[in-house]
Amino acid sequence: MVGVAAVVVLTAVGEGARRYVTQEFTSLGTNLLIVVPGRNETTGSFPGAGGVPNDLTLDDVRAVERDVREARLVVPIAMGNDTVANGERRRQVAVIGTTSDFQQVRHLEVTAGSFLPPGDLERGAAIAVLGAEVARELFPAESPIGRVVRIGDWRVRVIGQLAPKGRQLAVDIDNLVLIPVATGMRIFDLTSLFRVLIEVRVHSNLESAEERVLALLADRHGEDDVTVITQDSVVGSLNQILTALTLAVAGIGAISLAVAGLGVMNLMLVSVSERTAEVGLLKAVGATGRQVQRLFLTEAVLLSLGGALAGLGLGWGLVRAFVALYPAFPASPPAWAVVSVLVLAVAVGALFGVLPARRATGLDPVEALAGR
Amino acid sequence: MIELDGVQRSYPVGAEPLVALKDVSARIAKGEYLAVMGPSGSGKSTLLNILGCLDRPTAGSYRLDGREVGTLSADALSEVRRHHIGFVFQSFHLIGRLSAHENVALPMLLAGIPEDDRRARISTALDAVGLVHRAHHRPNELSGGECQRVAIARATVMRPHILLADEPTGNLDTANGEQIMRLLERMNADGLTLVVVTHDPNIGRRSDRVLVLRDGEIVQRVPGRELRPDALFESRA
């Protein structure tokens, strides 16, 4: 029973993790290319590890916009961290310098005011859009629209506020401040962009777009010094890892099932020896060996089926509790796990029931009945 | 008609096999009332098990109504037990989880007799032992005598022609024991072959014939009324 519950819960969580990640990524659109400065990195988590040979600049962004026909949107991202303050209310947040198209690529909604306006990349207006959490912290009682906040030593005017969105790919959207990319590079004194996001028009263009971007930037920089990550490859490999994880976890559950099977066997053996007299009696009143064996096998199977169903119920309850605690996490046991765990539990019960049943059949009725 | 010829039963224990029955030959006529007596370890129970087809002789022949059953397969023996032989035990061996009615139903369930038929036969069998009113009680709600009567109903519900009783009064007081013996004897009078294994010379004396066993051999065959109370165990400490 515990084994079944374990399998259900663990596979549910594993499967949930897989779905969560896949969903997160695909919510960003699978038509996305991410350009990262620096070469030879696969994860994108350490840009510049090993030295960035050339900056990724706004000129590069413009070149991509102009020359890569497959690209629908090209969004530069400059990244920094600083204190954002409204008078005495302050908060350390991630500040992203970007353009109006960021809204589309990241599927953001604005609850008040407006998003960053489209316009010249180089024009660094002193304006900002606040994430939901930042807005609430800095302006608990009033609307932040039109107010001025400080980012470090710089003063910017709030023009918009984002709808609550939660975390998206390890980035807490609610705790972001968005400013125009040129402003961002000036505030944080950056020469290179952190990322360039490219959304292609159709999914089938992804590869050719990737090639064209690489060629273009290699040409402009004089060497191959950027990495392009496709959403697909990231999702694919994560998916693989998490599937493997789920399977491993299911394997652990299966082992506990085998242990449970031994438990069933033990129980049945005890049951057989407790009921030797009964077995003897059954034989005396004309039961064949096969009938006795079937009786005990049925009992073993019922026992393990009962355990399995109870385990399933327990597991389901735990998963429900888990989901209630973490609603964003789509944990639910995959159907294959539920079905196979039931089949496995019953099979284990039957398998481990055979030995006790054999023993019952083999009991000498003479001795079985001699228990006076 | 039961015919035993040179029946032997030995168990492989260590190097030297343990011989429980040496060389037993006997005829038991249909409708006879036979008592098997003898000290503990004399082979009474082994003989009863062989008669009941629970056990097979290692040598010799056992014919039941002319048919050799000593060499049948285990399944065929189950079949013989089911239809020809009823057992009554000293400790009743009722199943505690089941009511009297269900206990009596057991042999018929195993034989696959349809439910309607079962009901009628259970009523008849319980009626014969005077326990219709206790049909839905469990063994722990019944007295020892009542339990044994349920066991007798169970043993006879398949209408066997041989009833084997192993110390049927061993766990009962005198009054209840007497009642059980009367019941068994009445069934015997109706044509049932009755074989009783007992220590009790009083029961031996009521039977048609007594076989006295000692060390796996029949040492005495006497009509029951000629059995002397002191004749049995004198040489056994």
Residues of chain A positioned with their CB less than 8 A from the CB of B91: 277, 371-372
Closest by alpha carbon to B76, among B56, B60, B93, B103?
A: B56
Q: How far is Cα A159 from Cα A241, in angstroms, rounded to an integer?
A: 42
Q: What is the largest CA-CA distance in chain B?
A: 55
A68-72, A80-84, B116-120, B209-213: least confident range: A68-72
Instruction: Tell me the average pLDDT across A253-280.
Output: 77
Residues of chain B positioned with their CB less than 8 A from the CB of A284: 52, 54, 81, 87, 93
- Residue A226 · residue A57 · CB < 8 Å: no
Output phi, psi for A22, to 5 deg.
-60, -45
- Paired tokens of A126: 């002193």
In a domain, B235, yes or no: no
Tens-digit pLDDT profile for residues A141-169:
888 888 899 998 889 999 999 888 776 66
Q: Do B45 and A285 touch (CB under 8 A)?
A: no
C-alpha distance from residue B50 to each of A200, B8, B81, B85, B103 (Å): 90, 10, 11, 12, 24
The total domain count for chain B is: 1
Q: Which comes out higher in pLDDT, residue A41 or A243?
A: A243
In a domain, B73, yes or no: yes
- Where does the pLDDT of residue A43 fall: very low under 50, low under 70, confident under 90, or very high at 90 and above? very low
Q: Name the amino acid, one letter, at B219.
A: V
Instruction: For residue B8, give its domain range.
Output: 2-211+218-226
Q: Which of A286, A290, A372 sits opposite B82 (nearest CB)?
A: A286
Q: Do B110 and A285 touch (CB under 8 A)?
A: yes
Residues of chain B positioned with their CB less than 8 A from the CB of A371: 91
Residues of chain B positioned with their CB less than 8 A from the CB of A291: 78, 110
Q: Name the amino acid, one letter, at A173.
A: I
ipTM > 0.85 (yes/no): no
In a domain, B234, yes or no: no
The CATH number assigned to the domain holding B205 equals 3.40.50.300
In a domain, B177, yes or no: yes
When the pLDDT of each residue in chain B is averaged and rounded to a whole number, the result is 89
Judged by DSSP in three states, B195 sits in strand
Q: Do B91 and A372 touch (CB under 8 A)?
A: yes
Q: Do A285 and B49 touch (CB under 8 A)?
A: no
In a domain, B232, yes or no: no
Length of chain A: 372
In a domain, B233, yes or no: no
Tens-digit pLDDT profile for residues A44-96:
445 544 454 678 888 888 888 888 888 888 999 998 888 898 888 888 888 99
The CA distance from B226 to the nearest CA of chain A, in Å, is 30
Tens-digit pLDDT profile for residues A99-120:
998 888 888 888 888 898 887 7
Closest by alpha carbon to A150, among A92, A87, A79?
A: A87
